[in-house]
Structure 1
Amino acid sequence: MKDFPSCFGESVIQIASSTQTAKSGAQNLVTCVYQYQSKSVSGFITVTWIKHLMGQLGLTVGIQNPTKQSLCRADIKTWLFSKRKGHKNLVSHSASLHIFWDLSSAKFGPGPEPLQGFYLAILVNQELRLLLGDLTNEAYKKIDIYNSSPSPTPSRAIFVAKKEHVFGKRLYNSKARFCDEGDVHDVRIEYDTTYDDDHCMAIYIDDKTVMRVARLKWNFRGNDTMTVDGVLIQVYWDVHSWLYQSVVGNAVFLFTSGDPNHKTSMASGFSLLLCAWKSQ
């Protein structure tokens, strides 16, 4: 089995190591990586939504060049009332990053990602590269106030990777779009300890069983394939900490479409990395 960092990091930036400590895993966070490209420039935008232990929400935005070198990074403490909406501008020697956001009416699910009632607009070198959320008209109006040029047309950023911390006793849930034109699917992992000597695990896509692994004490690391929307998905797992560590850490699941050995900076598919923390 290939190690997780090499599978996940080569084509879409190493947004995290697969080995996490219990302390860092206590934070509920989702990191999303988007790739943008135009005739003159290309690179990656990383957006991390964070829910801290006391319920405060944070947001981090970073941009990287095609060789995965960090160019700019901004941390936004959105739990402060004055930071629920606003804008921020950062300039480095090689890039400028301008961020506009409004989370004042955002609605959230169990995780830190807003679901609706928000916008997040990101300009790189004065060009709109990423626009998230459903309040697009409000975003363009806000951008126009601070820009003398007409409203920029966003280049089509491709969603290439997602990393998420999920928590549960036996059920772990996420969502993913495995191909660019496909639907958003519910992803569920079920960990069954009914029989002490024969732990098993099942993976569901939209409530349909797509994979079942028996005898986890022997098969705590492995890989298999499944098909979603006609796309072949490689699945890797490592649940050793669930079974054999006295202080339970996180199991790791990697779902990746396309070629996991792809070495260039062009998007080669989508990768979902789940760090599954077992509640005591």
Structure 2
Amino acid sequence: MALEAATFSIPTSSSSSSNEKVSEPQTTSKGAPQCSVTCVYQAKLADMYYIVSVTWCKNLTSHALSITVENPPQENRYTCKIDLKAWQFWGKKGLKSFEIDGTRADIFWDFRQAKFTSATEPCSDYYVALVSNEEVVLLLGDLKKDAFKRARSRPSLDEATLLHKKESVYGKKMFSTRTMVGTDHKEHEIVIENSLSGPGDPEMNIRVDGAVAVRIMNLNWRFRGNETVMVNNVPLQIFWDVHDWLFSGPGSGQGLFIFKPGKLDGESNNSNPDERNCSDGIITEFSHFLYAWKTE
């Protein structure tokens, strides 16, 4: 069974002037593909916990960051969208304030000196800070001192928790990402290489920090599966489903990869790595979902 690409939207509160929507990319014959990364956090504002979703989207014509703060039980939401286009320097530094459930919060950002690569997220020299009650409850980027100084706030004693990450990327034979392993919040580089055409059987390699961690031969028969690898003495579950790469036309389906620190209960083998089944029995909260779209 091929897995469908997930879609999601981020509606604004009623006080916003227009609705903002951010969707994971769909491969079509028209328009440029859109890469996206969404990180979902749990953060404490005042005395309540909220879900904070941070989405970076990029294609040939646009580059944007959307942040939504929501209280799911009460369905109250606020969304801030930041345009990261290079020619809009005046908008690279800003502040937006909002109120949710009677709690005031501020979002500070500074991308004036940000360094970008081909990835959707900046690699250095920027910050994005979510502030409530003079505490920085969520901080992105490496300019931490600048963020604290500008916001005139201290770090929160309740650090935001990263719950899961969803990412959509495009490529031909190679896909790369970074995922968190362990409790030190350090990210590790993962590279997926595939060879689907040629005289031999299709195969796929998954490298972690440059070393081959998983090698799948006879991919026609092992297009779904999972393995556990050790990364700095921490077990990492890797699930894959590349059915559509092999049995659908180019651009008509994605490969799904899930990276999840921890072990399966009883080390059971789950050969169907969909989001619902993969979350059963794994001793951890964080999951990284990578949707890899092959291009011609």
- Report the TM-score when normalising by structure 2: 0.76
Percent identity over the alignment? 33
Which residue does the alignment assign to 2:293? 277
Q: CA deviation at 1:273?
A: 1.2
Of residues 225, 230, 236, the one that matches 2:228 is 225
Give yes or no for contact 1:42–1:66 (8 Å, CA) kept in 2.
Answer: no
Unpaired segments ≥5 residues, structure 2: 7-21, 265-278
Which residue does the alignment assign to 2:63? 57
Q: Matched residues in 2 for 1:250 and 1:124: separation?
A: 39
Q: Matched residues in 2 for 1:39 and 1:91: separation?
A: 12
Work out which structure has the larger RCO, using CA pairs closer than 8 Å and 6 or more positions apart in sequence.
Answer: 1
Give yes or no for contact 1:252–1:275 (8 Å, CA) kept in 2.
Answer: yes
Which residue does the alignment assign to 2:204? 201
- 1:62-110 Cα shifts (integer Å, max 9, x gaps): 1234769563222222323332110112223455442100001100121
Residues 42 and 4 (structure 1 numbering): CA distance in 2 closer, same or farther, change over 3 Å?
A: farther
Q: Tell me if 1:261 matches 2:280.
A: yes
Letter matched to residue 41 of structure 1: M
Residues 49 and 20 (structure 1 numbering): CA distance in 2 closer, same or farther, change over 3 Å?
A: closer
- Please tell me the root mean square deviation across aligned C-alpha atoms, in Å: 3.2
Which residue does the alignment assign to 2:160? 157
What does 1:1-280 align with in structure 2 at a 5 Å threshold? 21-23=26-28, 26-37=33-44, 40-54=47-61, 56-65=62-71, 71-79=77-85, 80-93=88-101, 95-124=103-132, 127-144=135-152, 151-154=153-156, 155-181=158-184, 183-195=186-198, 198-248=201-251, 249-258=253-262, 260-261=279-280, 268-280=284-296
Give yes or no for contact 1:158–1:180 (8 Å, CA) kept in 2.
Answer: no
Aligned residues: 260
Which residue does the alignment assign to 2:267? none
Give yes or no for contact 1:182–1:229 (8 Å, CA) kept in 2.
Answer: no
Runs of 4+ in structure 1 over 3 Å off: 3-6, 37-40, 64-70, 92-97, 124-127, 194-197
Give yes or no for contact 1:25–1:277 (8 Å, CA) kept in 2.
Answer: no
- Report the TM-score when normalising by structure 1: 0.80
Q: Matched residues in 1 for 2:237 and 2:219: separation?
A: 19
Q: Matched residues in 2 for 1:124 and 1:25: separation?
A: 38
Which residue does the alignment assign to 2:270? none
Residues 38 and 5 (structure 1 numbering): CA distance in 2 closer, same or farther, change over 3 Å?
A: farther
Give yes or no for contact 1:250–1:276 (8 Å, CA) kept in 2.
Answer: yes
Q: CA deviation at 1:117?
A: 0.8
Give the match's secondary structure for 1:116: coil
- 1:135-188 Cα shifts (integer Å, max 9, x gaps): 2232223213xxxxxx23223223332222222211111112212215321101
Which residue does the alignment assign to 1:148? none
Residues 262 and 53 (structure 1 numbering): CA distance in 2 closer, same or farther, change over 3 Å?
A: farther
Give the match's secondary structure for 1:243: helix
Residues 256 and 168 (structure 1 numbering): CA distance in 2 closer, same or farther, change over 3 Å?
A: same
Q: CA deviation at 1:215?
A: 1.5
